[in-house]
Amino acid sequence: MNMAVNILAIETSCDESSVAVIQDGRVIRSNIISSQIEIHKKYGGVVPEIASRKHLEALPFVVQEALSEAEADFKDIDGIGVAYGPGLVGALLVGLSYAKAAAYAIEKPLIGVHHLEGHIHAGFLEYPDLAFPLVALVVSGGHTSLVYLPKRGAYELLGQTRDDAAGEAFDKVARHLGLGYPGGPQVQQAALQGNREKLLFPRAWLEKDSLDFSFSGLKSSVLNYLNQCKMKDEAYDIPDIAAGLQEAIGDVLATKAVVAAKKKKVPTILLAGGVAANLRLREMLQEKAGQENINVLWPSPVLCTDNAAMIGCAAYYKYLRGEFSDLTLNAVPNLSLFTS
């Protein structure tokens, strides 16, 4: 009989201290997420120094909670998975230092995981039998990338943002609209009352055939519109602005994801990252992909935003491949997932 493999996974790359116990890469025995959002909210974004300090305070308790919810002990753990980049270096170092100490103490492998590889694996947690090849659209506060996965563990970059990430565009505009942090969920909520056809904000399609993105022009255009209204003392409608912004972001993301899937002749597009929680993006993608007989899948909301379960799933497959990390592993704030 095969013994189960239990990975204890740690994620501290931004403002969530999260620890999970994942069995065989598919069973979430626990996934504890301690969010710092309430603390960073008043600054309008994540303050790196505060994030590191809060991770340090929270992590030992989050580990205990994750083990206790999983009804497990360190002796049941076969490997320690940890996100070591990209992200805020101080924040990453807290999780990584804990992971190294734990791996050393229990004499089990340390498995460093790329944060985006984690986001993609949220899809494999939700759909363990998901087949390759596929294209993943990874959209978060720090990343907007189209990734081709010919097989497990192989990642080819097809396109990425040249400036702001999609989540960043949501967050920055939301801040100017006074909607608070993080902006994506607030924009989505406000957009429900708005008319998405009223304000047609620009879409940056870039060069023909390019699968890259650019959202800084869109962000400036929305902010210009807002400033002009204010200067002319004209009324503006926040729900309409939110709906117009969400539409412009969703349109470009969904269109390019379908072009990428067609180019690579894959039957499936996997959505990943915090922005994958956006309902209008899902709807647009499903509509555009459906016309080409391409399937679209996304993880449940709790697995879209930062969490340790996704890191544990990615770590499990690395464990099976024997891809272990050395205890000298360092945090890499701009870590790349791609070899070429």
Site for Zn ion, rule CB under 5 A: 140, 306
- How far apart CA 58 and CA 87 sit, in angstroms, is 18
Gap between the Cα atoms of 76 and 34, Å rounded:
23
Find which of ligand KG4, Zn ion, none residue 171 binds, CB within 5 to 8 Å per kind.
ligand KG4
- Residue 185 binds what, of Zn ion, ligand KG4, none (CB under 5 to 8 Å, by partner type)? ligand KG4
Cα separation of 52 and 67, whole Å?
22
How many residues sit in the footprint of ligand KG4 (CB under 6 A)? 19
Distance between CA 108 and CA 98 in Å, rounded? 14
Asked whether position 183 contacts ligand KG4 by CB under 6 A, the answer is: yes
**Rounded distance, CA 234 to CA 69, Å?**
54
Contact 9, 81 (CB under 8 A): yes
- With 0-12 CB in 10 A as exposed, 13-18 as middle and 19+ as buried, what is 332? middle
Here the contacts of 102-107 (C-beta below 8 Å, separation 24 or greater) are: 102/8, 102/63, 102/74, 103/79, 103/327, 104/327, 105/74, 106/74, 106/75, 106/77, 106/80
Give the footprint of ligand KG4 on residues 137-156 (CB under 6 A).
Answer: 140-142
Asked if 182 touches ligand KG4 (CB under 6 A), the answer is: yes
Candidates 126, 1, 12, 19; CA nearest to 72 is 19
Contact segment (CB under 6 A) with ligand KG4 among 134-142, 231-239, 259-267, 329-337 equals: 134-142
Per-residue contact track with ligand KG4, 225 to 264, x per CB under 6 A?
A: ----------------------------------------
Q: Using the rule CB under 6 A, is 159 a contact of ligand KG4? A: no
Query: Of residues 270-309, which lie at the interface with ligand KG4 (CB under 6 A)?
Result: 273-275, 277-278, 305-306
Distance in Å, CB of 276 to ligand KG4, minimum: 8
> Which of 124, 155, 170, 319 forms a contact with ligand KG4 (CB under 6 A)?
170
Question: If binding is defined by CB under 6 A, does position 221 make contact with ligand KG4?
Answer: no
- Residue among 8, 9, 14, 254 that touches ligand KG4 (CB under 6 A): 14
Binding site for ligand KG4 (CB under 6 A): 14, 140-142, 167, 170-171, 182-185, 188, 273-275, 277-278, 305-306
